[in-house]
Amino acid sequence: MSILINNETKLVVQGITGKEGAFHTQQMEAYGTQVVAGVTPGKGGQKDDNGIPIFNTVANAVSATDANASVIFVPPTFAADACLEAIDAGINLIVCITEGIPTMDMVPVKEALDNSHTRMIGPNCPGIITPGECKIGIMPDFIHKPHGNVGVISRSGTLTYEAVHQLTEQGIGQSTCIGIGGDPIIGTTFIDLLSLFKDDSQTDGVVMIGEIGGSAEEDAAQWIQNNNFDKSVVAFIAGQTAPPGRRMGHAGAIIAGGKGTASDKIESLRNAGITVCDSPADIGKTMANSLQSKLTT
């Protein structure tokens, strides 16, 4: 078992003929993902270099190929519209990689998601991977260890790779790893994914990587406390040394009005009984210890 994606997921790539889209389509296919279609308006009827059929609209792609997931590599100016198009086409899971979408454009997308059955990961994220089965995104796949029992949820990109690498070095495989994105408005939160991992029998532990800005980590801590989440949870919060009022790369990573500090988040998580690593170098080791102590008790 895994969450959200597996070897039966059928993927359509929105923006398949762009530089990024073309490159990562090839990478995802090589990993074993079933890429069944691409969408580039005006290029419908053509095929990409790997013979994947291209359609003018997502709706056309879905009716021709039964695609149930979409990945978006569309430039920021058009990305929100691409999300709305995928929702309209009834796609189950959207993964929006695009960075730099204006917040004002994301408000209606969030609303459309709330009123549909579609789940979206991102935007501004590395994507999602169920190691050994399916990769939808841009992460380096070789650092993962397939068919494992630990899930990873993260607001970051490379810091997620760091955590996965540490888990793999400890001999711990991953069930599903999700980068939820660094923007102020995102489709899927820590809580959404924790609740999926709660029901996933394959997953025994979850790594949560948060960062400054917003209150998603505090909300997750509260949820864990309220819902008897009894799997191991290890967290790290990036930005303990970040100055207030400055946007630290990610549009969402900013301490504003005294809210969203790392220390508040760490305190909430610890109060909920979650192990929080002080050092980003200790994530793998800490999860190994936590899983071990669960076994012996």
Partner 1 sequence: MKIHEYQGKELFRNAGIPVPNGFPAFSVEEAVEVYKKLETNKVVVKAQIHAGGRGKGGGVKLAIGSEEVQKYADDIFGMNLITHQTGPDGKCVQRLLIEEASDIARELYAGIVLDRSSGKFVFMVSSEGGVEIEKVATGSPERIMKEWIEPNKDLRPFQARKLAFALGLSGVQIKHAVKTFLSLWKFFKSYDCSLMEINPLVVTNSDEIIALDSKINFDDNALYRHKNIQEMRDLSEEEPSEVEADSFNLNYIKLDGNVGCMVNGAGLAMGTMDIIKLYGGEPANFLDVGGIANAETVAHGFKIILSDPNVKSILINIFGGIVRCDRVAQGVIDALAHMEVTIPVVIRLEGTNAIEARNLLKDAEHNFIVANSLADAAAKAVKATGEKI
* CB-nearer residue toward partner 1: 148 or 157: 157
Q: How far is CA 193 from CA 105, 179, 189, 199, 244, in A?
A: 24, 11, 7, 10, 29
Instruction: Give Cα 145 distance to the centre of its chain.
Output: 17
The span of 35-43, 45-53, 88-96, 235-243 binding partner 1 (CB under 8 A) equals 235-243
Contact 68, 74 (CB under 8 A): no
Residue 201 in contact with partner 1, rule: CB under 8 A:
no
Q: Which of 28, 61 has the CB closer to partner 1? A: 28
Here's the x/- map for partner 1, 115-134, by CB under 8 A: it reads as -----------x--------
Q: Minimum CB separation from partner 1 for residue 201, in Å?
A: 30
What is d(CA 260, CA 171) in angstroms, rounded to the nearest whole number?
A: 34
Q: Does 243 bind partner 1 (CB under 8 A)?
A: yes
Of 249, 261, 267, 289, which one interacts with partner 1 (CB under 8 A)? 249
Write out the binding residues for partner 1, residues 36-55 only, by CB under 8 A. none
* Smallest distance from partner 1 to CB 33, Å: 16
Least Å distance, CB 67 to partner 1, is: 24
Residues of span 147-176 touching partner 1 by CB under 8 A = 154-162, 165
147: annotated active-site residue? no
32's tokens: 């074993």
Tokens 């994301």 label which residue? 106
* SS3 annotation, 143-201: HCCCCCCEEEEECCCHHHHHHHHHHHHCCCCEEEEEECCCCCCCCCCHHHHHHHHHCCC
Is 257 near partner 1 (CB under 8 A)?
yes
Q: Which stretch binds partner 1 (CB under 8 A): 2-10, 60-68, 85-93, 182-190?
A: 182-190
* Residue written as token pair 């170098």: 281
Decide: is 240 part of the binding site for partner 1 (CB under 8 A): yes
| Residues 259-288 interacting with partner 1 (rule: CB under 8 A) | 262, 278-282
Residue window 74-113: x/- pattern of binding to partner 1, with contact defined by CB under 8 A: --xx----------------------xxxxxxxxx-xx--
Binding positions for partner 1, rule: CB under 8 A: 23, 76-77, 100-108, 110-111, 114, 126, 138-140, 142-143, 154-162, 165, 182, 184-185, 209, 211-212, 214-216, 219, 236, 238-243, 245-253, 256-258, 262, 278-282
Active-site residue list: 250
